[in-house]
Structure 1
Amino acid sequence: MTIITLRRALLCSVSGLALAFSATHASAQDQSADEGFLGTLVLGNNKREVETDTATPETTINAEEIRDRQANSIAELIDSVPGVTLVNSGTPTGAGINIRGYGADGTYGSNQKVQIQLDGASMGSEELYRIGTQLYTDPALFREVSVIRGTVGSYEYGSGVIGGVVNLETIDAADLTEGQIGLSGRQTVEYYGNAGTKVSSIILGWQPTENLEFLLNYTWREQGNYTDGDGNEVANTGYELPSYLLKGKYSFGQNADQSLTFSHAKTNSDEKDVPYDAFANIPFGNVDRYTETTTTSLQYAYNPVGNDLIDLTATLSYADQFIEQEEVGSTGSALLNADHRYETTKLTVKNTALFNAFGVDHNLRAGGELIRKERLTASSAPGGTDERFALFAIDEIDFGNGFTLTPAMRFETQDITSSSTGTYVTEGESFSNSELMGGISARYAFANGFAVFGSVAYTAGLPILDDFDYATYQTYMTQSEKAVTTEVGVSYDRDGVFSGDDQLRAKVNLWQTRLWDYTSGTDYATVDRINTEGLELEASYSHGSGAYLDMNANLSSGEWAYVDGTSADYTRMPANSLGLTVGKKFNDRLDLSWEAVLTKDIQSTSGYAVHNLRATYALSPNVLKEAEIRLGIENIFDKAYTPHLATRAAPGRNIKLSLAAAF
């Protein structure tokens, strides 16, 4: 895609957005003209906020939207973010997250180009052959999920981040108790018609004192094989997924300015007689596969009142992923009988300091990390240890006139060692690497609500344990993948645009990435670089009458550039897409919305238009604190389609019913 094409797309997007806003506003005005309509004017009714106050392309999905989307998995929850697409969905095993063309690619379910963090613990990034993203955590466990696209906002989370970062934050007891002493809870039951999915989730929050709180969550999710839009059953899409979360927090010190927070989450999946290949159903054979994912973290926080220089957190985290596979049959395949285990222990210490120096205000986040990853030697993959030390700093400098400048850096060292003797590598072989990465972003906000921003960011992906398995491992183990991403954009944020009780938020981001020293595939010797570029749009409009509109769009393309001077389309880019939601809230009791997702033809994948309806009604129970019923109808026209990058058909019409009660 050329820059001229992107400019035209930007103009079309902005024009279409303006027309949609005008139509919604006119409709809201007509309705609000009726005497007594709604009675209460509420601003900010949108499903999702647009992050207009930062140059970082970030999208946050809050607890309300998590419940509203009724997603089966975290992957399905974030696929509505522009630039994010899934390599399959519907099951945890077969789903992979792709952001801006990086991450899951259909051969591997994940890699370090997309980082996943759960309460500070690092998950995923292993290149397991034809197994999904390994993100088996249930959406019911989380209070917030944020997606950072690209490199510029990634330096405090890891190296080699080109696609982006997915941050998962589990629920707190205070979300239920609202800081009051006592016991509170929420029970949710769900049923989805397509595949007969059953979900039960109970959350208990107990606050025995003002300074002590505990939380327990248990979720059971069970699904059969779903059917596509043509009524065909899609094999091997059923699963059972029990999850639980234990969490506790103790606050102490002067004015309770210190705290210890413990979090432990566990999810397991037990699949019987399923294809080894969770993506394309290549007939390698069938396996019984048991997966257990555990994350544990302990965080100390210190934020003394009246001291802007100290806002300290120290987080010790442990992530353990165990995959046990046994072939159904007797060929003795090393691939099918491989057991995998990844253990990542990480200590992250960081501090946020607010101060004034040289006449400007600083918001400085700085810290360091110690990371140790251990990989079990498998019959089909090498084992070893990957030990890293990193320092990072991000300084948001506010010049006080609407101009903000944010330099960022990360320095990371690595010692990576093989723990087994394989076809090529010898046990005990070790390599050391280090990289200095950094970037800078700038944002200028005008008084009329407009802001312009831009950034340039460089990152390097240090070698990974998987790469010991190649004849060229000595090249892999000494060469980092490198990438530069540049971004420019404009945002608009204003209340009272068309009337005194409406608000408009919009953000358009144009980005370009160049990747070189490519080592992510066996064809590394023929690839000189990868060039990708795109445009992302997020917008929201809400009116005091309760009417709202949300929009997001993605336009992107890429190319392989080969060492012989030829090039070809980069096949891992997401399809160009447009998402539009129009809805209305009535007296904070009833929320009705219609959502359309439209994609364009890309390569051999046909475009499609899928429509969804959602309704939430808040009941008025006499005994319970709150109760609500949710009804979702996804793919209401039973469209038969296969998303780009997916290898199996998407579900057909699916009616979802949820009942939730809080006490």
Structure 2
Amino acid sequence: MSNSRYSRAALLASTTLSLALISASVSAQEAAPRLANENPTTMLDEIIVNAGKEKVAIDTPQSVSAVGQEEIDAAQASTLGEIIDALPGVSVTNPDATFGQGFNIRGIGGAFAADESRIIIQVDGVKKYFEQYRMGSLFTDPELMKRVEVLRGPASSTLYGAGAIAGVIALETKDASDFLAGDDKYAVRAKTSWESNGNSPLASIITAVKPTEDLEFLANFQYRKSGNYDAAKGKVLENGDITSLSGLAKLGYTFGTNRDQKIEASYQRLYADGENLPYDQLTYSDAFGLTNRIVDDQTAVLSYENTFYGNDLLDIEAQISYSDTEVDQKHPGNIYFGDRAKYSYTTWQANLQNTSRFDLSDNVETYFTYGGEYLNRERLNPRYRPGGVVQPGSGSHPEGRTELAGIFGQAEIIVGERLTLTPGMRIDYTRLKPGDGVASDEELKKFAYSPKIAALYKVNDWFGVFGSIAHTERLPTVDETFSNGNIVDGKLQHLDLEKSNNFEAGFTFSFDDTLQQDDAIRFKATGFYNIIENHISTVFDGTFARTVITEEALLRGLELEAAYDSPNWYGSFGSTITRGNDTSGDKDKYLESVAADNGFLRVGYKYQPWSLDASWRVDVYAPQNRTEDPNNKTPGYALHQANLSWKPQEGAFAGAEVRASVTNIFDKKFQSHLSSSEGKGRSFKLSLAKTF
């Protein structure tokens, strides 16, 4: 690649950084900017759970989307993909499929789960990772969650881990305090819902108990049935019935001087099974036959927090966790997989970080977050064949172990309450060790570095500019390193690190009391330019899954987010334009992992006297013709959805919730560009909930 591409990208971000610094020197002493609302009015006003000073999404020098509890409930989602797929810059492979969801952020991520290593997924700070071709990469129930954060781009690698080239999906589960108000000692929330397409019911019960001021407990249990759902016009997809049980138990105890310490233990589990399911959960193709499949996902966490009341230099968070994800499949007589096969990831993880706050001067406030992480993950894939033969893995699903140790530091320097500088650095050491059945006993050991610098300057109370320059490096996964095509004559063909150089710049607008009293208008635009060297991907060549190296790839795009809220009318808008090319050769080629250009518009009205909320949303997807393979082109389409909710605040029905929605109202036939199956046809949803 010519140096001009780096120069143009560097100029984009450095110009924004320079403008911020120059403006700061002129007007750092101006009046304090708008404060965050205690209750977010729009998604751009959601508090971002991150290091440093508390801030809202619109005031971060990175493209971030946060979905709170109200938005999660309003979505009436049966899968996490239905929530995430509605965010700018994010696409989900088969968002309606319980077992077939894969994620794509800014053109990174595809049908093979190995791509998900560029997207770090966390649940309550625990990294979740699963890799099985033609299956999804995350198994959970949205009813367990109260918050979803999506951080786009590699700038998030500093705190979350090297290799987050696409970004981070961070999930947070419910707490007892979310259901207890004032001096309440206990609360019970019961919920039931039903979806017509697939005849899918849900039953949920949550119990929150707070026997003393310092002790609280939550128990959360769900039963869900995901039936065969149809595409538009009644086309049967035959994706199989799945029954799932999920639960969460969480115990927290607060103690110490001024209650500045907290210890918390939690355990969550999802157990789902289905019979006669297509082995291929991405396309529902019968090429690989049918299988009886059980998914068992468990996560246990023990955490400790100490804010050291009165000491600004100490604010410690420590966590140890255990995660186990196992898929058990039975398919007698299958020549590929044997009579039975298991795919599992078992992970032990420890994290420790501290945040110090200090003032460099009367006008400079500084937060410094630093810490370390250790992770040990084992992948197993026993395959049971006739005659009692057990094969440890296969050429496309090798067994192996990943060990990671990382240290990081990130500063947040706030000058005059208008300029925020965020430099950071992370160093990770990773060792990949082959398991049984791998044709080589060589290990792969590498260091990865993730430096960054970001800046946000609030020119005045309503206008801000931001920019960042970030680099991260990703070590190949167990699959990519020890698969068939990467071992020749017993020798490992060492893969180099995948490297990303990302440049971002953007601006924000924030207005209050504009069209009417107590309203809010928010707008955020982000442009990115991501150069990836040694781009590693996994493709299926018709016989084997093999690793493919692209010397250089270029991804760039624009993300727009806007929102309006008032006591009655509200609305939101989002749009994403992404371009991706293989720039290795003399002529650029298209990257097949780039989603279609898309946008959404939502308009709603709240009738306060009756506690009613009605909204309409339309999602528009442009044709995606930028593909090397003509067979991969997809047409454009538009999907419409209507929602109605009733949440009385007073009287006999206080604490009750009634929600109804219709998705794909016009029963439009469509197929998402990154999905391998047609999308769900028209569906009616109804949910009833009551908190006692």
Same fold (TM over 0.5): yes
Pick from 633, 639, 644 the counterpart of residue 615 of structure 1.
644
Pick from 345, 363, 383 the counterpart of residue 399 of structure 2.
383
Deviation at 1:625, TM superposition (A): 5.1
**Contact conserved, 1:48 with 1:550, CA < 8 A, in 2?**
no
Specify the alignment match of 1:400 in structure 2.
416
The superposition leaves residues 498-526 of structure 1 with CA deviations (integer Å, 9 ceiling, x where unpaired) of 44432111100000111112233367666
Specify the alignment match of 2:562 in structure 1.
539
Alignment partner of 1:658 is 2:658: no
Distance 1:457 1:191 in 2: 45
3-state SS, counterpart of residue 116 of structure 2? coil
3-state SS, counterpart of residue 578 of structure 2? strand
Amino acid at match of 1:317: S
Specify the alignment match of 1:130 in structure 2.
134
Specify the alignment match of 1:577 in structure 2.
598
Distance 1:190 1:242 in 2: 15
**Counterparts in 2 of 1:332 and 1:182: CA distance versus 1, 3 Å:** same
Deviation at 1:49, TM superposition (A): 3.7
Amino acid at match of 1:392: F
Specify the alignment match of 1:290 in structure 2.
294
Specify the alignment match of 1:212 in structure 2.
215
**Counterparts in 2 of 1:437 and 1:620: CA distance versus 1, 3 Å:** closer
Specify the alignment match of 1:93 in structure 2.
99
Specify the alignment match of 2:425 in structure 1.
409
Deviation at 1:419, TM superposition (A): 2.3
Structure 1, unpaired ranges of 5+: 4-41
Specify the alignment match of 1:153 in structure 2.
156
3-state SS, counterpart of residue 104 of structure 2? strand
The superposition leaves residues 16-58 of structure 1 with CA deviations (integer Å, 9 ceiling, x where unpaired) of xxxxxxxxxxxxxxxxxxxxxxxxxx99654664721111211
Distance 2:338 2:115 in 1: 18
> Which shows bigger deviation, 469-478 or 311-320?
469-478
Structure 2, unpaired ranges of 5+: 6-37, 47-56, 383-392, 540-545, 626-632
3-state SS, counterpart of residue 538 of structure 2? coil
3-state SS, counterpart of residue 127 of structure 1? coil
**Contact conserved, 1:44 with 1:503, CA < 8 A, in 2?**
no
> Which runs of structure 2 are paired with 1:473-492 in the superposition (5 Å)?
473=487, 477-492=494-509
Distance 1:337 1:660 in 2: 41
Distance 2:302 2:323 in 1: 12
Deviation at 1:609, TM superposition (A): 0.9
Amino acid at match of 1:486: F
Distance 1:585 1:404 in 2: 36
Specify the alignment match of 1:515 in structure 2.
532
**Counterparts in 2 of 1:531 and 1:220: CA distance versus 1, 3 Å:** same
Alignment partner of 1:177 is 2:180: yes
**Counterparts in 2 of 1:349 and 1:436: CA distance versus 1, 3 Å:** same
Distance 2:373 2:39 in 1: 41
The superposition leaves residues 377-412 of structure 1 with CA deviations (integer Å, 9 ceiling, x where unpaired) of 443222222111100111111111621110011100
TM-score (norm. length: structure 1): 0.89
Distance 1:363 1:477 in 2: 40
**Contact conserved, 1:44 with 1:542, CA < 8 A, in 2?**
no
Deviation at 1:178, TM superposition (A): 2.8
**Counterparts in 2 of 1:456 and 1:336: CA distance versus 1, 3 Å:** farther
**Counterparts in 2 of 1:44 and 1:311: CA distance versus 1, 3 Å:** closer
Deviation at 1:353, TM superposition (A): 1.6
**Counterparts in 2 of 1:334 and 1:638: CA distance versus 1, 3 Å:** closer
Specify the alignment match of 1:443 in structure 2.
456
- The percentage of aligned residue pairs carrying the same residue is 32
Specify the alignment match of 1:25 in structure 2.
none
> Which shows bigger deviation, 467-476 or 300-309?
467-476
Specify the alignment match of 2:388 in structure 1.
none
Q: CA RMSD in A?
A: 2.3
Specify the alignment match of 2:144 in structure 1.
141
Distance 2:475 2:338 in 1: 26
Specify the alignment match of 1:497 in structure 2.
514
Deviation at 1:481, TM superposition (A): 0.8
**Counterparts in 2 of 1:43 and 1:360: CA distance versus 1, 3 Å:** closer
3-state SS, counterpart of residue 230 of structure 1? helix
3-state SS, counterpart of residue 574 of structure 1? coil
Amino acid at match of 1:84: V
Distance 1:335 1:569 in 2: 38
**Counterparts in 2 of 1:46 and 1:451: CA distance versus 1, 3 Å:** closer
**Counterparts in 2 of 1:549 and 1:534: CA distance versus 1, 3 Å:** same
3-state SS, counterpart of residue 482 of structure 2? helix
3-state SS, counterpart of residue 679 of structure 2? coil
> Which runs of structure 2 are paired with 1:220-235 in the superposition (5 Å)?
220-235=223-238
Number of equivalent positions: 617
Deviation at 1:341, TM superposition (A): 1.1
**Counterparts in 2 of 1:298 and 1:569: CA distance versus 1, 3 Å:** same
Deviation at 1:448, TM superposition (A): 4.2
> Which shows bigger deviation, 78-87 or 469-478?
469-478
**Counterparts in 2 of 1:334 and 1:191: CA distance versus 1, 3 Å:** closer
Specify the alignment match of 2:315 in structure 1.
311
**Contact conserved, 1:454 with 1:487, CA < 8 A, in 2?**
yes
The superposition leaves residues 577-636 of structure 1 with CA deviations (integer Å, 9 ceiling, x where unpaired) of 111111111217111111110110002111111111101111367566500100111111
Amino acid at match of 2:605: K
3-state SS, counterpart of residue 338 of structure 1? strand
**Contact conserved, 1:109 with 1:132, CA < 8 A, in 2?**
no
Deviation at 1:648, TM superposition (A): 1.2
3-state SS, counterpart of residue 583 of structure 2? strand
3-state SS, counterpart of residue 517 of structure 1? strand
Distance 1:506 1:193 in 2: 36
**Contact conserved, 1:642 with 1:650, CA < 8 A, in 2?**
yes
TM-score (norm. length: structure 2): 0.85
**Contact conserved, 1:48 with 1:61, CA < 8 A, in 2?**
no
